[in-house]
């Protein structure tokens, strides 16, 4: 490596080798993780850089967080994996995470509070505890977090490199894989060859075929059945979703789609997760949970109106949304449930008195920011277990809604309405609800959108709401 950044990366590699070679001090921890964190003196786009460093089929995850001074993180490869499924997947994953970070050796040349807290794990989980069952989701486990081999992090105009390895004799350190990756990174950073965002194909071979996987009338009928159930079975709310399939004439480029989406939704959690030959990407307006120390942040997000290009009409639509009793019921069920879910683990929970309007490119929502002070620093994974699924994606009561959703919807949600995010060394970090998203494989994309059904729901209005939400992604496909 012969350039300005290269010596720094060579030094990081040597430091990682040093950590891996040091004999274990605590014999009970077998091959703990080793992590090196270095600040990079460069303006980077973590997603684009990490994507370029990805080998075929390797795990990849990128996440951009809207209200954190341009925070973006992207990781590639895996030196450790946490996976769990079933009713206790969050508890099991939290235990596996604790075991994975125990005795971790960390070499960080940074002292500020902003430096990434390695070891870092990136991943997510499916909506359903048992995960997906249909073949299109084969690459996505019920819950899976990976400790990437290489991460790039950006926040507040600063940038960091994190390299992680399992101690012992990590193959990547001895067979040259990591060194080659770091050389490639040095070339991109030094050689003025910073990758730029790929463009969507301006002249595709032909218009894609777009089909509602189940007929729109099926969705309307499901809304009718759900509202009928609400009269008899003590159900207050249930969220029902649709899937729309796009068949393009040529293979789709997940990175180009993701980059186009993040341009349109800068205030959302924009994510791109790749596993094997599949990619899952989206722009979600909804935070599931953020934990820093004992502080927790989340949001009740439910209640939707379309947007208008005319600012006066747009404002009017927002005002109507705030006053609409049906939308307020739908929203308040979510706020109340989140507060109740947090009460046992929090010293206090505060909710804004009135919902605010959150506007994104295609729709506007009612949002109630929620903050809590935790009694103890539960890991993000345990907190996800307390919160997921909120009635913004599930229903109320939670278990009764979960039991009826699959039959009413007739679709496999996979990671849609699950969550995507990162867990840091202290078990903190953040998770975004996976909404306004699509699963891409080859020339096919599957788009998801749902909405909250309450007794006052009108089937045609709810169908229109799913169309408005699908409007986030459909235009990308030409």
Give Dmax (Cα) for the chain.
72
Nearer to ligand ISC, 421 or 450 (CB): 450
Catalytic residue selected from 144, 149, 237, 409: 237
Nearer to ligand ISC, 217 or 461 (CB): 461
Reported residue count of the chain is 478
- The span from the CA of 467 to the CA of 449, in Å, is 8
Written in H, E and C, the secondary structure of 117-183 is: CCCCEEEEECCCCCCCCCHHHCCCCCEEEECCCEEEEEECCEEEEEEEEECCCCHHHHCCHHHHHHH
Compute the least distance from the CB of residue 302 to ligand ISC, in Å: 4
Interface with ligand ISC by CB under 6 A: which residues?
239, 241, 286, 301-304, 365, 392-393, 435-436, 449-452, 469
Nearer to ligand ISC, 255 or 301 (CB): 301
Sequence-distant (6+) residues with CB within 8 A of 209 are: 246, 247
Q: Could you tell me if 116 and 153 are in contact, meaning their C-beta atoms sit under 8 angstroms apart? A: yes
Q: How far apart are the first and last CA of the chain?
A: 42
**DSSP strand pairing (121-125 vs 105-108):** unpaired
Compute the least distance from the CB of residue 119 to ligand ISC, in Å: 32
The pair phi, psi for residue 5, each rounded to 5°, is: -80, -30
CA distances from 28 to 25, 97, 164 (A): 9, 16, 20
237 catalytic residue (yes or no): yes
Nearer to ligand ISC, 101 or 463 (CB): 463
Compute the least distance from the CB of residue 284 to ligand ISC, in Å: 8
Nearer to ligand ISC, 5 or 334 (CB): 334
Compute the least distance from the CB of residue 404 to ligand ISC, in Å: 16
Catalytic residue selected from 286, 332, 396, 462: 286
Sequence-distant (6+) residues with CB within 8 A of 353 are: none
Nearer to ligand ISC, 304 or 379 (CB): 304
Compute the least distance from the CB of residue 436 to ligand ISC, in Å: 6
Compute the least distance from the CB of residue 286 to ligand ISC, in Å: 6
Element (H, E) at 17: helix 6-21
Reference 242, options 429, 25, 465, 442; nearest CA is: 465
Compute the least distance from the CB of residue 57 to ligand ISC, in Å: 29
Q: Could you tell me if 366 and 286 are in contact, meaning their C-beta atoms sit under 8 angstroms apart? A: no
286 catalytic residue (yes or no): yes
Nearer to ligand ISC, 173 or 239 (CB): 239
The token pair at 180 is 């080659």
The token pair at 318 is 């927002």
Q: Name the residues annotated as catalytic.
A: 237, 286
């Amino acid at each position: 490596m012969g350039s300005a950044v290269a010596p720094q990366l060579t030094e990081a590699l040597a430091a990682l080798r040093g950590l891996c070679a040091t004999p274990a001090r605590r014999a009970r921890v077998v091959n703990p993780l080793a992590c090196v964190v270095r600040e990079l003196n460069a303006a980077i786009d973590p997603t684009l850089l990490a994507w370029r460093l990805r080998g075929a089929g390797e795990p990849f995850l990128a996440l951009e967080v809207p209200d954190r001074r341009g925070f973006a993180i992207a990781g590639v490869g895996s030196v450790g994996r946490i996976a769990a499924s079933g009713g206790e997947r969050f508890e099991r994953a939290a235990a596996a995470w604790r075991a994975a970070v125990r005795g971790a050796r960390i070499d960080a040349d940074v002292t500020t509070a902003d430096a990434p807290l390695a070891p870092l794990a990136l991943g997510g989980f499916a909506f359903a505890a048992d995960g997906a069952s249909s073949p299109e989701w084969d690459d996505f486990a019920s819950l899976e977090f990976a400790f990437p081999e290489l991460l790039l992090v950006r926040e507040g105009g600063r940038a960091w490199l994190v390299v992680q390895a399992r101690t012992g004799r990590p193959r990547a350190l001895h067979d040259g894989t990591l060194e080659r990756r770091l050389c490639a990174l040095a070339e991109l950073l030094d050689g003025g060859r910073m990758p730029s965002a790929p463009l969507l194909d301006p002249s595709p071979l032909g218009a894609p075929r777009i089909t509602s996987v189940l007929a729109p009338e099926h969705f309307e009928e499901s809304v009718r059945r759900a509202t009928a159930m609400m009269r008899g079975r003590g159900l207050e709310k249930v969220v029902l979703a649709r899937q729309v399939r796009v068949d393009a004439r040529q293979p789709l480029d997940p990175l180009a789609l993701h980059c186009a989406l993040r341009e349109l939704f800068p205030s959302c959690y924009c994510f791109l997760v790749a596993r094997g030959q599949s990619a899952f990407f989206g722009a979600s307006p909804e935070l599931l949970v953020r934990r820093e120390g004992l502080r927790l942040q989340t949001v009740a997000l439910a209640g939707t109106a379309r947007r208008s290009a005319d600012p006066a009409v747009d404002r009017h639509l927002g005002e109507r949304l705030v006053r609409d009793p049906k939308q307020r019921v739908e929203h308040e069920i979510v706020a109340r449930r989140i507060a109740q879910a947090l009460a046992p683990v929090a010293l206090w929970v505060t909710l804004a008195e009135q919902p605010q309007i959150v506007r994104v490119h295609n729709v506007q929502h009612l949002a109630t920011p929620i903050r809590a002070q935790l009694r103890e620093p539960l890991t993000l994974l345990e907190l996800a277990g307390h919160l997921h699924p909120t009635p913004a994606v599930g229903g109320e009561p939670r278990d009764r809604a979960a039991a009826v959703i699959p039959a009413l919807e007739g679709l496999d949600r996979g990671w849609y309405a699950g969550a995507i995010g990162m867990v840091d060394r202290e078990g903190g970090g953040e998770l975004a609800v996976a909404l306004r998203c699509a699963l891409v494989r080859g020339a096919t994309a599957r788009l998801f959108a749902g909405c909250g059904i309450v007794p006052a729901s009108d089937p045609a209005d709810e169908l229109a709401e799913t169309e408005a939400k699908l409007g986030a992604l459909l235009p990308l496909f030409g």
